[in-house]
């Protein structure tokens, strides 16, 4: 391949070329050859090494920079950054948001992540973790009649459990879907805050989850968490039935 050909963008190259750049970046991160703070090869060298044109390489690197994975500094080159879960979360939210029944689907993801996280937290949570969760529980108990505040406290409670697991992977995944999780928490509070009986059950359910964690009983903590998730589901189902239940005719 002549040098001139390297500089000339090929319209058929973009998809496969960009994928080649992304795959290279991913594989080097997984192998440990690239770490946060490392500088990539110069543009010309990297394009030759990957067999892609420089315009395609630039576009792929810009995409990685938009995802918060690279820091492109004019005149210095491209440097690897530690992944920013909030940036990845925005991208993931845009991908998932159009899907039907997304909040129900997100709940299933929550169950999968949180039930494993709380089992790990029963082994790994520090006293500081437990104190933090207890403090959030106090705030949560006082704000169930306020959907926005209560939803935020609810999210913080569950996030603190995932953090207490000590699993970086679970934490990153959870943070990546945090915009959808926060929306889910607020919507669920709107379904329940006018129902004192349900609100009381939710407070008790969160308290039982915390106590199971504090006792470091993974089976009970897992069970308490799953039972907690069922409370709002029961209310939503009852509300749906009530909305479509034929009304009795007045005499």
CATH number of 191's domain? 1.20.120.530
Q: Residue 14 pLDDT > 50, yes or no?
A: no
pTM of the shown model: 0.71
**Average pLDDT for residues 47-52, to the nearest whole number?**
92
Q: Which of the listed residues 29, 53, 80 is the one where a domain comes to its end? A: 80
Same domain? 72 vs 101: no
Number of residues that make up the chain: 251
Q: Residue 7 pLDDT > 60, yes or no?
A: no
CATH (domain of 38): 1.10.10.10
- How many structural domains does the chain have? 2
5 falls in which pLDDT band (50, 70, 90)? very low
- Which pLDDT tens digit goes with each residue over 132-149? 999 999 998 888 778 888
Handedness of CA 219, 225, 227, 233 (dihedral sign): negative
Same domain? 31 vs 117: no
Same domain? 91 vs 10: no
* pLDDT reported for residue 137: 94
Structural domain includes residue 250: no
**Structural contact between residues 96 and 179, judged by C-beta atoms closer than 8 angstroms:** no
Residues 219 and 211: their CA atoms lie apart, in Å, by: 12
* pLDDT reported for residue 193: 61
Q: Hey, what are 202's tokens?
A: 């939710």
Residues 50 and 57: their CA atoms lie apart, in Å, by: 9
Residues 224 and 213: their CA atoms lie apart, in Å, by: 10
Same domain? 166 vs 97: yes
**Average pLDDT for residues 198-208, to the nearest whole number?**
87
Q: Residue 91 pLDDT > 60, yes or no?
A: yes
């Amino acid at each position: 391949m002549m040098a001139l050909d390297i500089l000339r963008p090929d319209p058929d190259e973009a998809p496969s070329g960009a994928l080649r750049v992304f795959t290279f970046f991913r594989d080097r991160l997984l192998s440990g050859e690239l770490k946060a703070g490392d500088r990539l090869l110069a543009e010309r060298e990297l394009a030759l090494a990957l067999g892609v044109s420089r315009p395609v390489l630039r576009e792929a690197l810009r995409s990685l920079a938009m995802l918060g994975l690279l820091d492109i500094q004019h005149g210095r080159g491209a440097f690897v950054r530690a992944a920013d879960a909030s940036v990845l979360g925005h991208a993931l939210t845009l991908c998932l948001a159009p899907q039907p029944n997304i909040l129900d689907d997100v709940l299933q993801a929550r169950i999968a992540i949180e039930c494993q996280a709380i089992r790990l937290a029963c082994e790994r949570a520090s006293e500081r973790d437990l104190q933090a969760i207890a403090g959030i529980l106090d705030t949560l108990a006082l704000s169930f009649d306020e959907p926005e505040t209560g939803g935020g406290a609810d999210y913080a409670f569950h996030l603190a459990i995932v953090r207490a697991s000590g699993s970086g992977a679970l934490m990153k995944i959870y943070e990546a879907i945090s915009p959808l999780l926060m929306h889910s928490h607020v919507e669920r509070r709107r379904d329940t805050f006018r129902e004192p009986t349900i609100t009381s059950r939710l407070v008790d359910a969160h308290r039982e989850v915390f106590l199971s964690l504090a006792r470091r009983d993974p089976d009970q903590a897992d069970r308490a968490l799953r039972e907690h998730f069922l409370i709002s589901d029961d209310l939503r189902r009852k509300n749906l039935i009530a909305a479509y239940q034929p009304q009795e005719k007045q005499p």
